[in-house]
Structure 1
Amino acid sequence: MDNKTAFRIRTNEGKKEIYDTIRKRFVLLTQEEMVRQAYIAYLLQEVKVPEILISVEKKITYNTLSKRYDIVVANPNGTILIAVECKAESVNLNEDSLSQLALYNAELQAKYLVLFNGKQQIVFQKKDNSYTLISTLPPYEKMLL
């Protein structure tokens, strides 16, 4: 993943903020937020996902648990294609990260699952009711086939 995006960063009341192109506003710049914005740029520029089909940090409820997913990509009819869990670069991707993504996916039922920490990307594709590890996301148009 070669990201050459120039991010809009500002200081507001002594705190750094980054502009989120999906939410159309500045948000607090944390390590995880930087990773999230880098992955959004990757989805837009490399995977060619239409911006309108990406949602960021929306609430989902699974049983009685209320959680927020990081990034979700839908297809034009609203079916979830990709669920992305972002972690700060300092966080290793491990079973806890995967468990968190699996919990969200119990509700989302995405075709592709992604764990990303800015250094490492782990991608799974749903095939025959199970998930298989793949090297990278295919282009968005191929996901629709």
Structure 2
Amino acid sequence: MDSNLDQIQLPQLNLPHFEPQLLKKDGKLWIFDTLRKKQLVLTPEEWVRQHWINFLSIQLKFPKGLFALEKGLMYNQLLKRTDLVVWDKNGKPYLLIECKAPKVKLTQKTIEQACMYHKELKSPFLIISNGLQHICLSFDPKVEKFTQEKSFPEPPI
């Protein structure tokens, strides 16, 4: 590991701390993604996503085999990519997480963007997070409405 890593300040997030594998290469900082088993360029959004992967799998005991990263979906004839989707054991979307960089404020616009992805996936739960603030919503398909939740969903059964 490069000694220059000690000088890099990564933002503290409002998620449990973990010790990711970091690497400095080609003048960039990389983080090891334990799901894809490869090094990824460490962007602010990736920092948030990796914290969520760790939190869901280690703290909340979500099975890693149910995670999908950057799943492509069509919306208004454009290919969009979700940040993180957790499937249930029947292969249906269970939880959609839209990650933003810590500096990005969670506004109505960011919520609407996540809701567009949700419209295609129709997962029971949606989380929008910049790592500092998290909005957890549950979706009732009968009335097509979201309700804000005070806690995160349990792992799918």
TM value normalised by structure 2: 0.85
- Alpha-carbon distance in structure 1 between the residues aligned to 2:25 and 2:73: 30
Task: Give deviations 1:62-107, integer Å, cap 9, x for gaps.
Answer: 2301111100000111100000000011010011111111111111
Aligned match of 1:93 in 84, 97, 106? 106
Query: 2:32 aligns to what?
Result: 19
Give the Cα–Cα distance (whole angstroms) in 2 for the partners of residues 52 and 38 of structure 1: 17
Name the residue aligned to 1:137.
Answer: 152
Structure 1: unaligned runs, 5 residues or longer: none
Whichever residue aligns with residue 130 of structure 1, its letter is K
User: 1:138 Cα deviation (Å)?
Assistant: 2.7
Larger radius of gyration: 2
Question: Is 1:106 the equivalent of 2:152?
Answer: no
RMSD: 1.3
Which residue in the other structure is 1:82 paired with? Answer: 95
In 2, the alpha carbon distance for the partners of 1:60 and 1:68 equals: 6
Q: Aligned to 1:71, which of 49, 71, 84? A: 84
Deviation at 1:23, TM superposition (A): 1.3
Q: Which moved more, 1:27-36 or 1:57-66?
A: 57-66
Percent identity of paired positions between Structure 1 and Structure 2 = 34
Query: Which consecutive unaligned segments of at least 5 residues does structure 2 have?
Result: 1-13
Compute the TM-score of the two structures, normalised by the length of structure 1: 0.92
Q: Deviations 1:10-68 (Å, cap 9, x if unpaired)?
A: 01211110011111111000111101101111111222110010111121112301111
